[in-house]
Amino acid sequence: MCMRRCLVGLTFCTCYLASYLTNKYVLSVLKFTYPTLFQGWQTLIGGLLLHVSWKLGWAEINSNSRSDVLTWLPASVLFVGIIYAGSRALSRLAIPVFLTLHNVAEVIICGHQKCFQKEKTSPAKICSALFLLAAAGCLPFNDSQFDPDGYFWAIIHLFCIGAYKILQKSQKSNALSDIDQQYLNYLFSVVLLAFASHPTGDLLSVLDFPFLYFYRFHGSCCASGFLGFFLMVSTVKLKSLMTPGQCAAWIFFAKVITAGLSILLFDMILTRATVGCQHPGQEPERQRYTFQPLIHTRVTTLASCSAALERPCWFSQSGRAPKHRESGLPGCRWRTPPWALELPVPEIERRKQER
């Protein structure tokens, strides 16, 4: 039994790590910042895989009661807010910063339990919540890559998570299981994001995305959909086999590994003050550390970007949106090779030249 729990925990950590790194690659390296389409694709894949698992008898879904479905509808709306705001925030913030802000959702849950439900909360839990809140509050003042829009969407993301978990806990008497709830979340998200893709402009703007027809983009999007589903399944399995304390320990372990590896794989500038915010209790000192990716992207122009996608150019991003007339993929400057000049220039570059 202990070996089984360890295996489930390691599977969860692997899916957590792979899912975050893949999403970060698509959002920040490829600059696919169309959240209604990206998250709609992920929820569509998750819903289809869960439906197939149900038909094959691998999962049990019981959502025939209309009253239970209508009762869960507000939670599904919050779920859409979670994935949409999370996608917008992750595209602009480094993974360690995003996860530090993500932890503040636990402060919201703890405060609701203490103030509104009058539950007894241990002093250790209160101190932990205060440390998380202090770390997140100090982080914007010490973030050398501060992005106001990224922090704005991160705040919406964590408030949606807090409200979702509070609503989920208040409906424990509901007959819906965790799988039932996730199935309804998938269905509602696909429908709502599909209708929202046109008013937000994502449906038409995606036609100008320079890497729309490249296999690395297609492979990354497919991987993100499957990894999101496997992460959901492993999370449900983890909660069913372990106590809440053990689940929290595995989630913390997964976040630490993900944050640590993301520093090595993506471009990021850290100060000791920033590290102190991510590890509360340490004395901050002003010293900058610039982390370069393990594999540099040798790209400057959109014409050479198309060729570089055929090469192993994983994990290089600047942590911010590209400026006007700036390459979508950052990297060291180098002279465009002759073979890159023969490649077709994307539509967006052609329009810039016509101006």
Query: And the tokens for 152?
Result: 């704005």
Rounded to 5 degrees, what angle do the CA atoms 259, 271, 100 make?
35
Q: Which of 165, 204, 189, 167 is nearest to 83 (CA)?
A: 189
What pLDDT is recorded for position 143?
A: 81
CA dist 304 to 220, 256, 331, 333, 350, Å?
20, 35, 12, 12, 14
Q: What is the pLDDT of residue 92?
A: 92
User: What single-letter amino acid sits at 95?
Assistant: I
| CA count, 13 A, side-chain hemisphere, 349 | 16
Q: What does the pLDDT read at residue 223?
A: 95
Q: Which residues of the chain have pLDDT under 50?
A: 281-292, 294-345
The distance in angstroms from the start CA to the end CA of the chain is 67
Measure the CA–CA gap between 209 and 191, rounded to whole angstroms. Answer: 23
Q: Show Cβ contacts of residue 273 under 8 Å, excluding neighbours closer than 6 positions.
A: 138, 142, 284, 285, 286
Query: Considering the entire predicted model, what is its pTM?
Result: 0.76
Give me the pLDDT at residue 102, please: 92
Place of tokens 């993100």: 224
- Please tell me the predicted confidence (pLDDT) of residue 267: 74
Contacts for 323 with CB less than 8 Å, ≥ 6 apart: none
Q: Cα separation of 157 and 273, whole Å?
A: 24
- Determine the Cα–Cα distance for residues 163 and 79; give it in Å rounded to an integer: 10
Helix or strand run (H / E) with residue 138: helix 123-142
How does DSSP assign 141-198, residue by residue? HH-TT--HHHHHHHHHHHHHHHHHHHHHHHTTTSS--HHHHHHHHHHHHHHHHHHHTT
Helix (H) or strand (E) holding 247: helix 244-265
Q: Which amino acid is at 28?
A: S
CA–CA distances in Å: residue 255 to residues 83, 99, 149:
18, 7, 23
DSSP 8-state class, residue 207:
G
CB under 8 Å to 128, separation ≥6 — which residues?
none
Q: What is the 3-state secondary structure (H, E, C) of 274-315?
A: HHHHHCCCCCCCCCEEEECCCCCCCCCCHHHHHHHCCCCCCC
pLDDT at 86: 95
pLDDT given at position 217: 93
Tokens of 77: 């709306």
DSSP, residue by residue, 19-70: HHHHHHIIIIIS----HHHHHHHHHHHHHHHHHHHHHTTSS------HHHHH
